[in-house]
Amino acid sequence: MTTTDEIFEINPYESHASLTPLEADVLWEYAKLSQHVKDLTERSRQLSEGPDENLLARLRVLERKMGLVLTLFKASVWGVINEQPATETSVQYADTTADTTLRR
């Protein structure tokens, strides 16, 4: 039996007596494809089991920046609110409908 690296270099079906050269080549391509799928499965299992430290570090930096942006946004909203002139609340919410009811 060949090792996983040898499957890409040596055709294990080449010297089989009951196979034609075309059949041996087709089986070899399937063996290489099978090894690629096994490698891909193993790599995806590794990625899904453990966190990506590089990605986590970049996300932490982004989280800090977003926190800073949120703080600056809140501060600017607060500044805009404080710059507005103070109005009397009764004038601000005055009833502007055509209500003719007498009020005391």
Predicted TM-score (pTM) of the model is 0.47
Calpha distance 76→70 (Å, rounded): 10
Which residues of the chain register pLDDT less than 70?
Answer: 1-4, 87-100, 102-104
Phi (first) and psi of residue 99, to 5 degrees: -80, 125
* pLDDT value for 29: 94
Q: What is the pLDDT of residue 40?
A: 95
27-45 burial, b if ≥16 CB within 10 A, otherwise e? Answer: bbeebeeebeeeeeeeeee
